[in-house]
């Protein structure tokens, strides 16, 4: 009971701080970084469900991110559909693509599944490059309209900040409730042992497919917002490097930690902006950071720091007791 009250109080504090943050730091670059961080966090949140709770590996979520982005771009620019309905359609199209891909691919396990998802990224890039009449080829699609709802346009970074982070908060609460539901508990059993899950009436193939589709819809939603914020999409924006960054966000935040995936997204987005002048070495830098986290904080940011703090407190308390006993 006390823990729940503490969590709710912290959530209220977080919402207040988040709401005041763009007003306290009236800086265009800061607003842009936080908008992009929120978009990445939506995709990382979905990937965290798939990797952390379903226990599967995917290095191809940038393909779903791109499907959402291109669906948004094609529907708004080529066909003149409103941005709101285009975003809804982008989520539906991404979910359908995940269903068609997931049926055969999710029969694989572990490293074979990871390799198959890597192939999805390459297939997606080839398709959007070759179908140039619809997707613009290598150049991509430009002049994507700002996202709008019933005539209200999110045409400033401040508006986009609140739009993205409100959507992220809603998805975070939904994901947390899902994790604590019977489906979340079943997915944890499947991640631990698929054979045992079958003996207690769980269908692991169906459950993995559902979580895969849900995580892809998250990525598609993020891709649609990404397209409307940057007002352009191109094949190079949705490559393997983006998939690796999304996986790193989940690992750095802590596999199985929803709040950690959001923190990992913010941290890596800030880092990407910081090393933008050394883009040719970005993957090497990210690799080094990932190795350091796996060595020193394998549990992720929040859990890792919490455990290290507990160790320090215990060590300090033990030393004090030893000194008292020696006296």
**In CATH, what number is assigned to the domain containing residue 220?**
1.10.3470
Per-residue confidence (pLDDT) for residue 301, from 0 to 100: 74
289 plus 312 within the same structural domain = no
Residue 323 has pLDDT above 70, yes or no: no
Residue 67 has pLDDT above 90, yes or no: yes
* Residue positions counted in the chain: 327
Beta strand pairing call for 152-153 and 141-142: unpaired
280 plus 325 within the same structural domain = no
Closest CA to 90 of 114, 58, 68, 64: 68
- Burial (0-12, 13-18, 19+ Cβ within 10 Å), 194: middle
Does residue 72 form part of some domain?
Answer: yes
31 plus 119 within the same structural domain = yes
Does residue 5 form part of some domain?
Answer: no
pLDDT-derived band at 73 (thresholds 50, 70, 90) equals: very high
187 plus 317 within the same structural domain = no
Which conformational region is residue 203 in: left (phi greater than 0), alpha (psi within -120 to 50 degrees), or beta?
A: beta
Q: What is the number of domains present in the chain?
A: 2
Please answer whether residues 175 and 258 qualify as being in contact, where contact means their C-beta atoms are separated by less than 8 angstroms: yes
Domain range spanning residue 323?
Answer: 301-327
235 plus 313 within the same structural domain = no
183 plus 230 within the same structural domain = yes
307 plus 244 within the same structural domain = no
Residue 270 has pLDDT above 80, yes or no: yes
119 plus 183 within the same structural domain = yes
236 plus 314 within the same structural domain = no
Strand partners, 142: 232
Largest pairwise CA distance in the chain:
84
Tell me the CB-side half-sphere exposure of residue 100, using CA atoms within 13 A: 8
Q: How far apart are the first and last CA of the chain?
A: 41
For the full predicted model, state whether its pTM sits above 0.85: yes
Does residue 10 form part of some domain?
Answer: no
Does residue 7 form part of some domain?
Answer: no
Does residue 8 form part of some domain?
Answer: no
% of the chain residues with pLDDT over 90? 42
DSSP 76: I
228 plus 279 within the same structural domain = yes
């Amino acid at each position: 009971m006390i823990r729940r009250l503490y969590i709710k109080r912290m959530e209220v504090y977080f919402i207040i701080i988040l709401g005041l943050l763009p007003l306290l730091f009236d800086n265009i670059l800061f607003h842009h970084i936080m908008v992009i961080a929120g978009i990445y966090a939506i995709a990382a949140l979905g990937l965290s469900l798939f990797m952390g709770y379903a226990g599967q590996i995917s290095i191809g979520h940038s393909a779903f991110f791109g499907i959402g982005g291109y669906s948004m771009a094609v529907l708004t620019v080529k066909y003149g559909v409103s941005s709101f309905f285009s975003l809804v359609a982008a989520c539906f199209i991404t979910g359908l693509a995940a269903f068609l891909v997931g049926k055969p691919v999710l029969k694989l396990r572990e490293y074979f599944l990871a390799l198959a998802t890597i192939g999805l990224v390459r297939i997606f890039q080839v398709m959007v490059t070759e179908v140039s009449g619809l997707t613009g080829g290598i150049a991509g699609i430009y002049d994507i309209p700002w996202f709008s709802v019933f005539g209200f346009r999110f045409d400033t970074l401040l508006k986009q900040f609140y739009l993205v982070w409100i959507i992220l908060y809603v998805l975070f609460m939904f994901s947390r409730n899902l994790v604590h539901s019977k489906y979340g508990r079943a997915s944890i059993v499947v991640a631990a042992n698929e054979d045992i899950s079958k003996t207690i009436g769980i269908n692991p193939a169906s459950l993995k497919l559902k979580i895969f589709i849900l995580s892809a819809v998250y990525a598609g939603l993020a891709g649609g917002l990404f397209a409307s914020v940057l007002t352009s999409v191109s094949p190079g924006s949705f490559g393997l490097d983006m998939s690796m960054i999304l996986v790193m966000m989940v690992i750095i935040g802590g596999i199985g930690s929803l709040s950690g995936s959001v923190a990992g997204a913010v941290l890596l987005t800030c880092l990407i902006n910081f090393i933008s002048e050394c883009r040719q070495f970005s993957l090497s830098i990210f690799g080094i950071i990932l190795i350091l986290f796996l060595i020193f904080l394998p549990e992720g940011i929040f859990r890792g720091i919490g455990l290290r703090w507990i160790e320090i407190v215990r060590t300090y308390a033990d030393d004090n007791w030893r000194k008292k006993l020696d006296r």
